[in-house]
Amino acid sequence: MTSILSDIDSTPLKVLVGASLVVGACKLTTTTLSYLALLFDLFLLPAVDFKKYGSKKGCWALITGASDGIGKEYAKQLAKKGLNIVLVSRTQSKLESLATELEAQYKVQTKVVAFDASVDSPSNYIAIGKAIEGLPVSVLINNVGQSHSIPVPFLETEEKELTDIVTINNLVTLKITQAVVPTIVNSVKTKASSRGLVLTMGSFGGLLPTPYLATYSGSKAFLQSWSNALAGELKSSKVDVELVISYLVTSAMSKIRRSSLSIPTPKVFVASVLKNVGRRCGAQERYATSTPYPIHALMHWWIENTVGVYSKVANTLNLNMHKSIRIRALKKAARNQKKE
């Protein structure tokens, strides 16, 4: 730095160049430390001990969207950790089958609540309240969600699809949280558990504004701000609130069946979530947020620290990708229609 400044005669320029070099050095240092913290979280720290959330102490976890995919895995892995499980989803028969499996395999107690999340009915929340009445619930997993059937321009989005996405992803999630969290707070107060936990499923679709999935993208971005705000409110009550960001996972929603390094199975993904509760992993710049699956975490960190999640570059890439997906989906639908 000294040799550079010595070649500059103007004192103001020296100050400007010196300040720029200091700022650049600080930025490089903070970026490096952030990346090292990401690696430390993902690969060096041991798994989080769920005893603080009441595992093997008679406490309960309530899981929405519990009958399939990621929700079903949350139920299995939390039951394995020793939490009793309240299963909430649409199909009664699937819930009962899973409840029987959990009780037999993990020797836990279960309850089921059949709940159509596309209908914002007061009876749904009353049913949840009755199911958890008197139970030391310590964990809530807000997993229920819906996306578009295929990528679609916002102006062509059907009203029912638009309404269902906002209702399920936002309104129902908020009301379930209002119904359950008072019980979690009480469980902590009565020392049934040391801490409470609220995990809400986010998405890269909410991390990056996503053309052709505009309504879904907006609904998940809403959950980011809401979850962060709730984390601040509940901190003094010893309830940890965290938004979980993921890229694609093999599931009915993603319509992807084959896993890969960047697209894990629900089992692998949920294991990474529960291992890293409370750690930001790739979401270094976000409070009360985690991108826990290693490849997703690296993707999140690099996007944030290169082009930026709100950049024109990221938006354009997302636009082109989802436009291409839409074209292929429409061609496939046309072929299937011809076969019929």
125 catalytic, yes or no?
A: no
Instruction: Kindly list the distances between the CA atom of residue 110 and the CA atoms of 6, 75, 100, 279, 306, in Å, as whole numbers in the listed order.
Output: 74, 10, 8, 29, 46
Tell me whether residue 147 is annotated as binding. no
**79 and 85 Cβ atoms separated by less than 8 Å:** yes
Q: Catalytic: which of 53, 212, 216, 247?
A: 216
**Which residue matches tokens 């939390």?**
78
How far is residue 16's CA from residue 172's CA, in Å, rounded to a whole number? 53
**Which residue matches tokens 């979401």?**
283
How far is residue 60's CA from residue 314's CA, in Å, rounded to a whole number? 41
DSSP code, position 191: T
How far is residue 21's CA from residue 222's CA, in Å, rounded to a whole number? 38
Q: Which residues contact 37 (CB under 8 A, 6 or more apart)?
A: 280, 284
Question: Which of 80-113 are b and which e, b meaning 16 or more Cβ less than 10 Å from the residue's Cβ?
Answer: ebbbbbbbbbbeeebbeebbeebeeebebebbbb
How far is residue 252's CA from residue 237's CA, in Å, rounded to a whole number? 36
How far is residue 180's CA from residue 86's CA, in Å, rounded to a whole number? 11
How far is residue 298's CA from residue 33's CA, in Å, rounded to a whole number? 14
**Which residue matches tokens 């690969």?**
43
Closest to 141 (Cα-Cα) out of 97, 222, 196, 204: 196
- Name the residues annotated as catalytic: 216
Q: Which residues does the annotation place in the binding site for substrate?
A: 203
Q: Which residues does the annotation place in the binding site?
A: 203
